[in-house]
Amino acid sequence: MRVAVDAHAIGQRLTGNEVYVRNLLSRYGRLDPEAEFIAYVSSSKAHEWIPERFQQRRVSANPFFRLGWQMAARLREDLPDLIHVQYTAPLRCPVPIVVTVHDVSYLEHPEYFLSGRALQLRISTAKTLREAAKIVTVSEFSRQHIAKAFNIAPDSIRVTPLAAEKHFRPIQREAAMRKVTDRFGFIGPYILHVGDWHPRKNQIGLIRAFRELLAAHPKLPHKLVLAGKRTWFAPQVLEQIRLSGLKERIIQTDFVDDDILPALYNAADVFVFPSFYEGFGLPALEAMACGRPVVCSDSTSLPEVVDGAALLFDPHSVQEQMRAIGDILFDKELFHRMEKKSLQRAAFFDWKETARRTLDVYQEVAESRARVRRSKELVAR
């Protein structure tokens, strides 16, 4: 089997999409030592995450050039049995497509996107799904919503859940806090949120809940740490920080690299994930793998992922969010119980199993293509 993977996200700080393809590729070599893999990459740093025996082809970071012409040309040269993409396949793709669609938030909540981006995803993803040999997603929630949005039988969509990488694990909290202080310059207890600044991530609701928490408990020493890449939505978040009057208590780290992120999770007292919409919600799982108590919204895929191992709240209710955070901070018995539940739940997810399931999908597509070729050969005789 010869497999091509669109790995342009690696090294581009594309958060969930990058973590997904990076972890699959890193495990494929051990799971299937006989298969050939070709990774189409855009970053010069991509080789750090790709097994040495895999072939690498450079492609443009510009999606219009990469998808409109370049990758189709590469595929005609490399002749793989299939190409695995996320959301969007190359135009005039000459080989079978396996597509991963993490969610359909761009259809169900286009207000969370810049208008051009939502339109682009609507058109390109619909085309890719029509042409795909197999469709993969990351949660049962996403499977049901993709099926409904595109009138596809749910059973034809394969669910391969995400997982926390191995370096997300409990470490000694004082040591973690020293690393955090050395990198970011602040000390003391804190509440943590990880995620790009984006309307659906609900950082604005979290800032309001933090303000209410401090109003109710003026002696609370905690800071709020917002770790995540600033996007086009940054002005709205920054304005909310200004309005809160808590600029000195709200730490903004911007994008956090993997070398420090586990320490940032471990040193936090509580992790808060107030998203309005998630196809999976990987940061919540990463925090749980580090043994941190998690409070998160009760919307979309998150109840499925945390499965009783986190306190849930309505993301539209500042008061519910504030109470959930307070319950963790002030109830030590609950705090320690949720630490244990976090670790137990995170152990259910494994990137090796996700990669194995995805390889099974590739094998089905490759075998189907081989059968079609044999049939054509017989007819030609």
Enumerate the H helices of the chain as residue ranges.
15-31, 63-65, 71-78, 105-108, 115-131, 140-150, 173-184, 203-216, 234-244, 261-267, 282-289, 302-306, 318-330, 332-346, 351-380
Note the pTM of the prediction, 2 decimals: 0.93
Query: Distance between CA 324 and CA 209 in Å, rounded?
Result: 10
- pLDDT for 381: 60
- pLDDT for 345: 98
What structural domains and CATH numbers belong to the chain?
A: 2-163+350-380 (3.40.50.2000), 173-346 (3.40.50.2000)
Q: What is the DSSP letter of 319?
A: H
Q: What is the DSSP letter of 105?
A: H
Residues 6+ apart with CB under 8 A from 276: 109, 112, 199, 200, 201, 202, 297, 299, 300, 315, 316
Query: Got the DSSP string for 117-177?
Result: HHHHHHHHHHHHHHH-SEEEES-HHHHHHHHHHHT--GGGEEE------TT-S---HHHHH
Q: How confident is the prediction along the chain (381 residues), in pLDDT tens digits per residue?
A: 999 999 999 987 657 889 999 999 999 988 999 999 999 999 888 888 888 899 999 999 998 999 999 999 999 999 999 999 999 999 999 999 999 999 999 999 999 988 888 889 999 999 999 999 999 999 999 999 999 999 999 999 999 999 999 999 999 999 999 999 999 999 889 999 999 999 999 999 999 999 999 999 999 999 999 999 999 999 999 999 999 999 999 999 989 988 999 999 999 999 999 999 999 999 999 999 999 999 999 999 999 999 999 999 999 999 999 999 999 999 999 999 999 999 999 999 999 999 999 999 999 999 988 787 776 666 666
